[in-house]
Amino acid sequence: MLDSLRSLSNRSGKLDESLKRFLRGIKPEIWLILILIFALSLRLYFFVGPNINDDVDYVFSAHEVSEGRFYPLYGKSINAIRSMMTAPVALFFKIFGVGIYSASIYPIVCSLITIVSVFYIGKILVDYKVGLVSAAILSFYPVDIVFSTQLVPTTPVTAFVTLGLLLFLYGEKMEKKLTLFVLSGVMIGLSYLANIMTFFIVASIAFSYLAINRKIRKEYLLIALGFLLVFSGETLFMYANTGNPWHRLDVFHETERMIGTNTDMNYYQRVMLKVEGVNFNAQEGNLGIFVYLFIVASLFALGYEPEKKLWFLIVSFFLIMSYFQFGVMTAGFKPIAKWVRYLIVLGPVFSLLIGYMFEKVTKKAYLKIILVALFFSLTLPFIIGSAQAYRSWTEEFTVEYDYLKGLPEKTVYTDQGSLGFLQFYFGYEWDIKILEKSKLEDIKDSYVILDGSRGVVQNAVMRENLPDFAKNPPKEWKLLAVLESWAVSPKIYYAP
| Tens-place pLDDT, residues 231-273 | 999 999 888 888 888 888 888 777 776 666 777 889 999 999 9
- Asked if residue 201 has pLDDT above 80, the reply is yes
How sure is the predictor about 156, in pLDDT bands with cuts at 50, 70 and 90?
A: very high
Segment 106-133 shows an average pLDDT of: 96
Within a domain: 3: no
- Say if residue 478 is in the same domain as residue 366: no
Q: Which of 20-24, 35-39, 329-333 is least confident?
A: 20-24
* Residue 185 and residue 198 in contact, taking contact as beta carbons nearer than 8 Å: no
φ, ψ at 495 (rounded to 5°) = -100, 110
Question: Partners of 450 in the beta sheet?
Answer: 491
Q: Who has greater pLDDT, 240 or 150?
A: 150
Those residues whose C-beta lies under 8 Å from the C-beta of residue 441, and which sit 6 or more positions away, are: none
Split into its structural domains, the chain has a count of 2
* Residue 131 and residue 119 in contact, taking contact as beta carbons nearer than 8 Å: yes
Question: Partners of 449 in the beta sheet?
Answer: 492
- Say if residue 318 is in the same domain as residue 430: no
Question: Alpha helices, DSSP H only, in 430-488?
Answer: 454-458, 460-464, 468-471
Domain boundary among 392, 409, 428: 392
- Asked if residue 25 has pLDDT above 70, the reply is no
Q: Which of 155-169, 186-200, 396-410, 452-466 is least confident?
A: 452-466
**Dihedral sign for Cα atoms in the order 474, 477, 483, 485:** negative
- Say if residue 117 is in the same domain as residue 242: yes
Domain boundary among 339, 362, 392: 392
pTM of the model: 0.92
Displacement of CA 382 from its chain's centroid (Å): 16
Within a domain: 4: no
φ, ψ at 434 (rounded to 5°) = -90, 130
Do the bridges between strand 411-414 and strand 432-434 make them parallel or antiparallel, or are there none, so unpaired? parallel
Segment 121-132 shows an average pLDDT of: 94
Segment 166-189 shows an average pLDDT of: 92
How sure is the predictor about 305, in pLDDT bands with cuts at 50, 70 and 90?
A: low
Segment 120-138 shows an average pLDDT of: 95
The pLDDT of residue 86: 93
- Say if residue 72 is in the same domain as residue 155: yes
Average pLDDT, the chain: 90
Sort 465 into a burial class: Cβ within 10 Å, 0-12 / 13-18 / 19+: middle
Q: What percent of the chain has pLDDT over 70?
A: 91
- Say if residue 336 is in the same domain as residue 354: yes
Those residues whose C-beta lies under 8 Å from the C-beta of residue 115, and which sit 6 or more positions away, are: 35, 36, 39, 135, 138, 139
Among residues 358, 322, 330, 310, which one has the least CA distance to residue 135?
358
The pLDDT of residue 170: 94
- Asked if residue 6 has pLDDT above 60, the reply is no
Those residues whose C-beta lies under 8 Å from the C-beta of residue 109, and which sit 6 or more positions away, are: none
- Say if residue 372 is in the same domain as residue 445: no
Q: Who has greater pLDDT, 298 or 240?
A: 298
Q: Which of 23-32, 442-451, 456-465 is least confident?
A: 23-32
How many CA within 13 A on the CB side of residue 127? 5
- Say if residue 487 is in the same domain as residue 406: yes
Q: How far is residue 133's CA from residue 336's CA, in Å, rounded to a whole number?
A: 34
- Say if residue 303 is in the same domain as residue 429: no
Within a domain: 2: no
- pLDDT digits 0-9 by tens, 468-486: 999 899 999 999 999 998 8
Q: How far is residue 447's CA from residue 435's CA, in Å, rounded to a whole number?
A: 11
The pLDDT of residue 258: 65
The pLDDT of residue 28: 85
- Say if residue 215 is in the same domain as residue 130: yes
Element (H, E) at 311: helix 311-326
The pLDDT of residue 140: 98
Segment 322-334 shows an average pLDDT of: 80
Segment 59-63 shows an average pLDDT of: 94
- Say if residue 416 is in the same domain as residue 353: no
* Residue 171 and residue 144 in contact, taking contact as beta carbons nearer than 8 Å: no
The strands making up 491-495's β-sheet, listed across from edge to edge, are 432-434, 411-414, 446-450, 491-495, 478-482
- Asked if residue 12 has pLDDT above 80, the reply is no
- Say if residue 202 is in the same domain as residue 333: yes
Q: How far is residue 492's CA from residue 496's CA, in Å, rounded to a whole number?
A: 13
Do the bridges between strand 491-495 and strand 411-414 make them parallel or antiparallel, or are there none, so unpaired? unpaired
Within a domain: 9: no
3-state secondary structure of 450: strand
- Say if residue 87 is in the same domain as residue 66: yes
Q: How far is residue 357's CA from residue 365's CA, in Å, rounded to a whole number?
A: 14
φ, ψ at 207 (rounded to 5°) = -60, -45
Within a domain: 112: yes
Amino acid letter, residue 143:
V
Domain range for 482: 395-495
Within a domain: 287: yes
Full DSSP string of 245-307: TTHHHHHHHHHHHH------TTHHHHHHH--SS--GGGTTTTTTTHHHHHHHHHHHHHT-GGG
Domain boundary among 348, 369, 392: 392
* Residue 428 and residue 483 in contact, taking contact as beta carbons nearer than 8 Å: no
Within a domain: 5: no
Q: How far is residue 71's CA from residue 167's CA, in Å, rounded to a whole number?
A: 34
Within a domain: 6: no
Amino acid letter, residue 383:
I
CB atoms within 10 A of CB 152: 23
Sort 162 into a burial class: Cβ within 10 Å, 0-12 / 13-18 / 19+: buried
Those residues whose C-beta lies under 8 Å from the C-beta of residue 125, and which sit 6 or more positions away, are: 169, 309, 310, 352
* Residue 334 and residue 256 in contact, taking contact as beta carbons nearer than 8 Å: yes
How sure is the predictor about 5, in pLDDT bands with cuts at 50, 70 and 90?
A: very low
Q: How far is residue 163's CA from residue 118's CA, in Å, rounded to a whole number?
A: 8
